[in-house]
A and B are shown apart, each in its own frame.
Chain A
Amino acid sequence: MLVLGAVLGIAAPALADGVQSGADLHVAQSLGDRDLTVIIRRVAEVPGPVHVDVVTHAGTPPGELTLTLRAAGAPSSTAKVVLGATPGFHSGVVHVDRPGPWELAVDEATIPFVVPALVSSPWENATYGGFIAAGVLLLAALLLAVLGRPGLALVPSAGVVAAVAVGVTAAMLAPAIPPVAAPGTQLDPTFDTVMNPYERTSTTDFSRPPVTMLPRMEGNELVLGLTDASSGRPVDDLLVHDSAFVHLVVVSPTGHLRHLHPIRTAPGEYRARLRDPEQGEHAVAAEIARRGGGVQLLRSSVAVAGTAPATPNDGKAETSAEIREAGRPSTITARFGERDLQPWLGMLGHMIVVGPVTGSPVDAPVWAHVHSMIPPVPGMPDKPDESVAAYGPDVPFTYSFPLPGKYLVWIQVERDYSVVTVPTVVDVPAAKAVPR
């Protein structure tokens, strides 16, 4: 029993994790002319403060942002964040008064997120309840024995055995019980599902229909309309994946790449500003993840009435490539010289592949987004944020080009709070004909 107690004593804190284990939420936002990362820190207590960090990047105009935190039926809370001229972290504090679905507005951009409730699981209750009941019954048995009623003392003694059996069984089985569907990632978060996450639903398949993307230009703002491909209703259940709601890649007719993170301005409406756009048909691709489902790639194109001259991406790095034939893994490594790269969107580097190009990038059959990952640190659930400038200098990518031909490739990393985009071109040979 001592052995069991010791093991359970160690195991008990681990049981308290699960639904409650929150992490910081990093959301990249292309807000007007600013490229920001909004970090909503884990909410430690409710009611209590929510710490929000706004990370600015090189070229972000200084100014003031208004943070507003609101939820249905709750008083909203506001804070001002003054953005300095130097890139870096700028903090604001807002308040929550209840767990549930909340929305943080950063000027006109709105970020829905969930403040989890601290709810103990039924098996935790059985464990603690069993041991507490055993203690109380043990006292009762001792009392009866002291009072000279050993016969009656047998009744609470039997209760002790039963209560300990309940507690030990619950504690031993708890690690093997699968976690419940989390409100916010699999289920739609409502006040009820957040407060009572252990009420199981009959749903076992959480996947949702695909999304139709309709891009249009309003002035120099690119507006994405996202509708459900099964019902035609606006899609308002996007998850933050790889630190953004939408990873939007726009390639101009001359091959200039922009990687933007549109802000949510209304349900199913996301917008991003194209600074100094070129004239012509731009290729548009958006990566999104719906609640309960995997990541989808949506491709389209939009006609832009711009006037700016064609400017190539100007990032510089030494690249070396080991290109194998189509269908086999090729490796492209960008060397950035010094070990001072920052994580961007939770990754060491991003590589966008568009091809094989014959005419315009709009017609390219292959569109890929390859990551170079930051190795996770054991025991650290939170990803390092952009203040850690200690990665690199070599950024490797491995990708199996599906078709032979000429591909446009862009490698993106972050250094000195500025995103560096290195353009390159890759020629992939056809697979060798193998005599059988």
Chain B
Amino acid sequence: MKRSVLVTLAAVVAVVAALVVLWPRSVEAQPHLAESGRYRFVLTPTSTKSGSNSFDLRVTDRSGNAAQGDVTVEPAMPRMGHALAPITAAPLAPGHYRVPEVDLFMAGQWEITVSLGTERVVIPLLLI
């Protein structure tokens, strides 16, 4: 009786360990923060996969007040020496912008340059 309990316990431990090691981890789309001299940019992609994507952008000044002005997004893939046409983000609310559709067609490391006026930041984005 005691032995069968031990065997069951060992099996459970083995299965749990295997699950922990082998469980497929999905990559969540995280917000990416970048700060320039005056502004704080937070870019959240909807997807971390290559293909059609969209960005949610929040731009505030360093003290947290919503920023005003036209925000431009310039995606580029440095390893391929390839840049996409710049996109002007659509304003939703003060300091809140959205880039509705951007075709990041290739997996790999992208660089998203976000600019407001003369302030610009480069946000790295890894797509799988």
User: Residues of A at under 8 Å CB distance from B?
Assistant: 1, 3-4, 7, 172, 322, 324, 328-329, 331, 371, 373, 375-376, 378, 396, 398-400, 434
Rounded to whole Å, the gap between the CB of B127 and the closest CB of chain A is: 12
The answer for the CA separation of A378 and B105 in the assembled complex, in Å, is 10
Q: How many A-B residue pairs have CB under 8 A?
A: 39
Measured CB to CB, the nearest residue on chain A to B105 is A375
The answer for the CA separation of A64 and B84 in the assembled complex, in Å, is 43
B82 CB contacts on chain A under 8 angstroms: 371, 373
Interface residues of chain A: helix, strand, loop or mixed (majority): mixed
B84 CB contacts on chain A under 8 angstroms: 398
A7 CB contacts on chain B under 8 angstroms: 22
The answer for the CA separation of A398 and B106 in the assembled complex, in Å, is 16
- Cβ contact within 8 Å between A396 and B22: no
Rounded to whole Å, the gap between the CB of B120 and the closest CB of chain A is: 10
Q: Which of B86, B106, B118 counts the most A-chain CB atoms under 10 A from its CB?
A: B86
Partner of A373 from the list B18, B50, B105 (CB cut-off 8 Å) is B105
- 3 interchain residue pairs of minimum CB distance: A375-B105, A331-B85, A398-B83
A4 CB contacts on chain B under 8 angstroms: 18, 22
A434 CB contacts on chain B under 8 angstroms: 118
Residues 1-44 of chain B, each 1 if its beta carbon lies under 8 Å from chain A, else 0: 00000000000001100110110000000000000000000000
Rounded to whole Å, the gap between the CB of A197 and the closest CB of chain B is: 24
Rounded to whole Å, the gap between the CB of B85 and the closest CB of chain A is: 4
Besides A4-B18, A331-B86, A399-B83, 14 other CB < 8 A contacts?
Answer: A3-B18, A3-B19, A3-B22, A172-B21, A328-B86, A329-B74, A371-B81, A371-B82, A376-B106, A396-B85, A398-B84, A398-B85, A398-B86, A434-B118
Rounded to whole Å, the gap between the CB of A384 and the closest CB of chain B is: 14
The answer for the CA separation of A132 and B118 in the assembled complex, in Å, is 65
- Cβ contact within 8 Å between A322 and B81: no
B18 CB contacts on chain A under 8 angstroms: 3-4
| B93 within 8 Å of A (CB atoms) | no
B15 CB contacts on chain A under 8 angstroms: 3
B21 CB contacts on chain A under 8 angstroms: 172
Interface size of B by Cβ–Cβ distance < 8 Å? Answer: 19
Q: Which of A3, A329, A399 counts the most B-chain CB atoms under 10 A from its CB?
A: A329
Rounded to whole Å, the gap between the CB of A379 and the closest CB of chain B is: 12
Rounded to whole Å, the gap between the CB of A256 and the closest CB of chain B is: 26
B86 CB contacts on chain A under 8 angstroms: 324, 328-329, 331, 398
Measured CB to CB, the nearest residue on chain B to A347 is B82
A331 CB contacts on chain B under 8 angstroms: 85-86
Residues 47-85 of chain B, each 1 if its beta carbon lies under 8 Å from chain A, else 0: 000100000000000000000000000100000111111
Measured CB to CB, the nearest residue on chain A to B86 is A329
Cβ contacts A to B, 11 pairs, < 8 Å: A3-B18, A324-B86, A328-B86, A329-B86, A331-B85, A371-B80, A371-B81, A373-B80, A375-B105, A378-B50, A434-B118
Rounded to whole Å, the gap between the CB of B52 and the closest CB of chain A is: 11
- Cβ contact within 8 Å between A329 and B81: no
The answer for the CA separation of A399 and B74 in the assembled complex, in Å, is 11
Rounded to whole Å, the gap between the CB of B84 and the closest CB of chain A is: 6
Residues 84-118 of chain B, each 1 if its beta carbon lies under 8 Å from chain A, else 0: 11100000000000000001011000000000001
B103 CB contacts on chain A under 8 angstroms: 375
The answer for the CA separation of A182 and B52 in the assembled complex, in Å, is 33
The answer for the CA separation of A179 and B40 in the assembled complex, in Å, is 39
- Cβ contact within 8 Å between B22 and A400: no
The answer for the CA separation of A378 and B107 in the assembled complex, in Å, is 9
B105 CB contacts on chain A under 8 angstroms: 373, 375-376
The answer for the CA separation of A375 and B86 in the assembled complex, in Å, is 18
The answer for the CA separation of A187 and B57 in the assembled complex, in Å, is 45
The answer for the CA separation of A172 and B20 in the assembled complex, in Å, is 13
Measured CB to CB, the nearest residue on chain A to B15 is A3
- Cβ contact within 8 Å between B14 and A400: no
B80 CB contacts on chain A under 8 angstroms: 371, 373
